[in-house]
Structure 1
Amino acid sequence: MLVLSRKKGESIVIQDHIELTILSVEGDTVKVGISAPPHIDIFRKEVYLSIQESNRESAAPTPANLEALIQRLRGPS
């Protein structure tokens, strides 16, 4: 992990397309502004992890779905 120190108003640029700017620092809270192209999704980590878990749950076969798939693969009786 790269660790950088920045002050209010200072920025970090990632690969010419993403800019992180420190907007404010108040106690333990840092406000960060992010400028990125519209095709790049940006999520807070807890939201990203929740989306990943939901995707895993949706993709996991359930016994009922698995049985229906087996029946479809066997074709008409």
Structure 2
Amino acid sequence: MLVLSRKKGESIIIQDHIEVTVLGVEGDTVRIGISAPKQMDIFRKEIYLSIQESNRESAAHTQSNLDALRSLINKNNEK
């Protein structure tokens, strides 16, 4: 992990397209601004992890449905 120190108003640049700016610091809270291309998704980590879990659950449910459909098709083909 790269660790940088920045003051209010200072930024870092990531691969020419993403700029992260420290907007303010109040106690334990740091406010940051992110400038990035509109096609890039930016999420807080807890939201990102929730989306990933939801996607895994959906994929498992889809696989279960596909297995049930295959079973029905196989039963019809046996008749």
Category of TM-score, reference length = shorter chain: 0.7 to 0.9
For structure 2, list consecutive stretches of 5 or more residues without a partner in the other structure: none
Q: Number of aligned residue pairs: give it.
A: 74
Q: CA RMSD in A?
A: 1.3
Asked whether 1:52 is paired with 2:52, we answer yes
Partner of 2:38: 38
After superposition, give the CA deviation of every residue in 1:30-61 in whole Å (9 maximum; x if it has no partner).
Answer: 00000000011000000000000000000003
TM-score of the superposition, structure 2-length normalised? 0.86
Structure-1 separation of matches of 2:10 and 2:54: 36
Amino acid at match of 2:33: G
The structural deviation recorded for 1:12 is: 0.2
Q: The residue matched to 1:16 in structure 2 has which SS?
A: coil
Q: Which runs of 4+ in 1 moved over 6 A?
A: none
Q: The residue matched to 2:12 in structure 1 has which SS?
A: strand
Q: Output aligned runs, 1:1-77, within 5 Å.
A: 1-60=1-60, 61-62=63-64, 65=65, 66-72=67-73, 74=74, 76=77, 77=79
